[in-house]
Amino acid sequence: MIRSTLSVAFAAIVLAACGRSDPKLNETGAQPDLPAVRQTLVPPMRVTSPTGWDGQVPTVPAGFTVTAMATDLQIPRQMLVLPNGDILIAEGRGGHAPALRPKDIIAGPIKKKGNTQVESGNRLTLLRDADNDGRAEVRTVFADNLDAPYGLAYVDGFIYVANQGALVRIPWTAGQTRATAAPQEVTKLPSRINHHWTKSLTVSADGQTLYVGIGSNSNIGERGLAVEEERAVVWAIDRATGARRTMATGIRNPTALAIEPTTGAVWAVANERDELGPQLVPDYLTSVREGAFYGWPYSYWGKKIDPRVRPQRPDLVATAVAPDFALGAHVAALGLTFATQGGFGGAFTEGAFIGEHGSWNRQDPSGYKVAWVPFVGGRPSGPPVDFATGFLTKEGARGRPVGVAFDPTRRILLVADDLSNTIWRIAPARVTP
Amino acid sequence: MRTTTLGMRQSLRGLHGVILGFPAALFTIGVLTDIAYLKTAEVQWTNFSQWLITGALVFGGIAAAWSLVALVLSLRTSIRRWRVVEFGALALMFLLGLINAFKHSQDAWSSVGALGLILSILCSLLALVAAFIAISGASDGEIAR
């Protein structure tokens, strides 16, 4: 008995060590180091407990200020800056994946401890800060009774909302603080199970095509591949007719989409698979190439085989393409916005801000910050740098970033924090005379 | 006609046997569902295996604890050798079963694989041995009588 207790303790130590990452490995960039697959009997789970901000704010680079623009929201996810500068915030939580295995029953409540306990808002909140002083003088519920709204886009008098089960649109005129018409359905979106429920959304520069990111229905096919039909894909939807085609496949969980301003190309951040080790598989930022297969579930980072998926599909793996830019394993990238019209200037002129919700599947947490990836000529040009940090402390998580939105008119970056239910506004500090 | 009443000793033995029937049956069916998964890659089979192993561990754990108490109570008697074998089989079954439960909690093919199947086979053999010893009465001294 003593021996077996010791061996269990030893195994636990070995497992804990396995969940730790090797700092010598380069986890980011176009060619990240990809260590060997390391599956452990117990997946490393490190869920940081929420502590709240207690009057503190995120840390931003010198020359910037950060303020809480809205608090006490109901799980803010993605945001949209409307043509008149009003800000819409999609709030809610979706998914209705039933627990099928003992693991689902055990791991589910553990992961929930790292999230807010607030009820899903299922609504859009509108903020107006007409004098751009960082305080919203108007805050209203713009639309209510939505079904886990997430992706937002504006085209030509309509606000498009990607609910977890359908793309809908709501007519809008400048100055409106409440929707006056019920949402109209543009097209249904895959919603069975909705293990990854978030439907990301953006619109092409010409306003003709809506792009919807649809996440997979499992980590790696453990609910069977039949439920993965039209999952882990990006849809392109014709705005006029509602007709859709599948633009890219094998992109496990495309949690945010945005148009790169110099080329007009669609870019995505995507969350990769878990339980292959603390430094596998990197979440990524990539241009969404027409017809491309990004590997999920059969392979990762191009043609690296995932040993857990059977039957294997070497024919598909042979066609898999590697994404453009690794953001680091398990960072949980959920937000993407490009700096437009010169961004903040200086080091933040051309590039993308990335909201990283933070990891659970490794012992040393990753993510929990807003990162900046510099671009030149419409392509990433250097390693990611921290833009907003301080979401994680030794005591736990003060917040977890989700959506990010850059407003070129006011030169502000908005960050949705779905743990403290706050919208952070980051702006260049006013020069005091 | 002579009426017999079930004594405390027989009741306990019967209950122990019933409890032991669970790991013996559940682990053994788990071997079959593991094989079915490895042959078909249909997820329902590995899901079955995971619940079978979980159920086997719950009852197997009770049986192992029971067996340990019985062993401690009989340390100075002649039947202790059978009780050592029974408890040893159950303790090893529980330890391997726990490892097997974690193995089966991995996703998709990794939930079974070669290691999962081997562990399932070992667990079911140990459960069958322990159940046989207990139900045959060997560990209750019936053989000696």
Tell me, yes or no, if A32 comes closer than 8 A to chain B by beta carbon: no
Q: Could you identify the residue written with the tokens 């029953």?
A: A105
Among A13-22, A45-54, A424-433, B105-114, the minimum mean pLDDT is found in A13-22
CB pairs A-B closer than 8 Å: 56
Tell me, yes or no, if A312 comes closer than 8 A to chain B by beta carbon: no
In a mutagenesis test of the A interface, which of B53, B87, B110, B112 is the best target, namely the one with the most A β-carbons within 10 Å? B110
Q: Chain B closest CA to A218's CA: distance in Å? A: 9
Q: Is the pLDDT of residue A261 over 80?
A: yes
Dihedral sign, Cα of residue A227, residue A228, residue A230, residue A231? positive
In terms of CA atoms, which chain B residue is nearest residue A2? B91
Q: Which among A42, A102, A219 has CB closest to B50?
A: A102
* Identity at A3, one-letter amino acid code: R
Q: Which among B41, B47, B51 has CB closest to A311?
A: B41
Chain A hits for B47, CB-CB cut-off 8 Å, are: 100-101
Q: Which among A41, A223, A308 has CB closest to B99?
A: A41
Q: Is the pLDDT of residue B25 over 60?
A: yes
| DSSP one-letter string for B32-60 | HHHHHHHHH--HHHHHHHHHHHHHHHHHH
Tell me, yes or no, if A219 comes closer than 8 A to chain B by beta carbon: yes
Using CB atoms within 10 A of its CB, is residue B8 exposed (0-12), middle (13-18) or buried (19+)? exposed
Contact between residue A201 and residue A167 where contact means Cβ atoms under 8 Å apart: yes
Question: What is the model's pLDDT at position A20?
Answer: 78
Domain ranges for chain A: 2-19+38-428
Confidence of residue A14 (pLDDT cuts 50, 70, 90): very low
- Strands in A184-188's sheet, in edge-to-edge order, are A151-155, A158-162, A166-171, A184-188
pTM of the entire structure?
A: 0.92
Q: Do B103 and A41 touch (CB under 8 A)?
A: yes
Q: A67-85 pLDDT, tens per residue? A: 999 999 999 999 999 999 9
Question: What is the model's pLDDT at position A204?
Answer: 97
Nearest to A214 by CA among A238, A245, A239: A245
Confidence of residue A13 (pLDDT cuts 50, 70, 90): very low
Kindly state the average pLDDT of the residues A114-129. Answer: 92
Q: What is the mean pLDDT of chain B?
A: 90
Tell me, yes or no, if A12 comes closer than 8 A to chain B by beta carbon: no
- DSSP β-bridge partners for residue A125: A89, A141
Chain B hits for A219, CB-CB cut-off 8 Å, are: 107
Please give the share of chain A, as a percent, with pLDDT higher than 70: 95
Chain B hits for A281, CB-CB cut-off 8 Å, are: none
pLDDT higher for B142 or A284?
A284
Question: What is the model's pLDDT at position B140?
Answer: 73
Question: What is the model's pLDDT at position A2?
Answer: 43
Q: Is the pLDDT of residue A102 over 50?
A: yes
Q: Could you identify the residue written with the tokens 């990238």?
A: A333
Kindly state the average pLDDT of the residues A178-186. Answer: 96
Number of neighbouring beta carbons within 10 Å of residue B4: 6
| Helical pair B43-73 and B113-136, crossing angle rounded to 10 deg | 40
Using CB atoms within 10 A of its CB, is residue A298 exposed (0-12), middle (13-18) or buried (19+)? buried
* Identity at A303, one-letter amino acid code: K
Question: What is the model's pLDDT at position A363?
Answer: 87
In a mutagenesis test of the B interface, which of A217, A222, A296 is the best target, namely the one with the most B β-carbons within 10 Å? A222
* Identity at B125, one-letter amino acid code: L
Q: Chain A closest CA to B67's CA: distance in Å? A: 14
Q: Which among B50, B103, B109 has CB closest to A308?
A: B109
Among A47-56, A175-184, A280-289, the minimum mean pLDDT is found in A47-56
Chain B hits for A297, CB-CB cut-off 8 Å, are: 108
Q: Do A1 and B91 touch (CB under 8 A)?
A: yes
Q: Is the pLDDT of residue A344 over 80?
A: yes
Q: Chain B closest CA to A222's CA: distance in Å? A: 4
Backbone dihedral angles phi then psi of residue A90, each to the nearest 5 degrees: -85, 125
Question: What is the model's pLDDT at position B75?
Answer: 78
The 3-state DSSP composition of chain A as helix, strand, coil percent (nearest 5) reads: 10, 35, 55
Q: Could you identify the residue written with the tokens 């809480």?
A: A68
Q: Do B107 and A220 touch (CB under 8 A)?
A: yes
Q: Which residues contact B7 (CB under 8 A, 6 or more apart)?
A: none
Q: A350-365 pLDDT, tens per residue? A: 999 999 999 988 888 9
- State the ipTM, two decimals: 0.86
Q: Is the pLDDT of residue A119 over 50?
A: yes
Q: B86-104 pLDDT, tens per residue? A: 999 999 999 999 999 999 9
Q: Could you identify the residue written with the tokens 């700092």?
A: A23
In terms of CA atoms, which chain A residue is nearest residue B99? A41
For B99: left if phi > 0, alpha if psi spans -120 to 50, otherwise beta; the answer is: alpha
Q: A211-233 pLDDT, tens per residue? A: 999 999 999 999 999 999 999 99
Question: What is the model's pLDDT at position A44?
Answer: 83
Q: Do A101 and B108 touch (CB under 8 A)?
A: no
pLDDT higher for B141 or A374?
A374
Dihedral sign, Cα of residue A95, residue A98, residue A104, residue A108? positive
Q: Do A41 and B102 touch (CB under 8 A)?
A: yes
Nearest to A257 by CA among A75, A405, A76: A405
Q: What is the mean pLDDT of chain A?
A: 93
Contact between residue B24 and residue B124 where contact means Cβ atoms under 8 Å apart: yes
Question: What is the model's pLDDT at position B141?
Answer: 66
CATH 2.120.10.30 fits A2-19+38-428, yes or no: yes
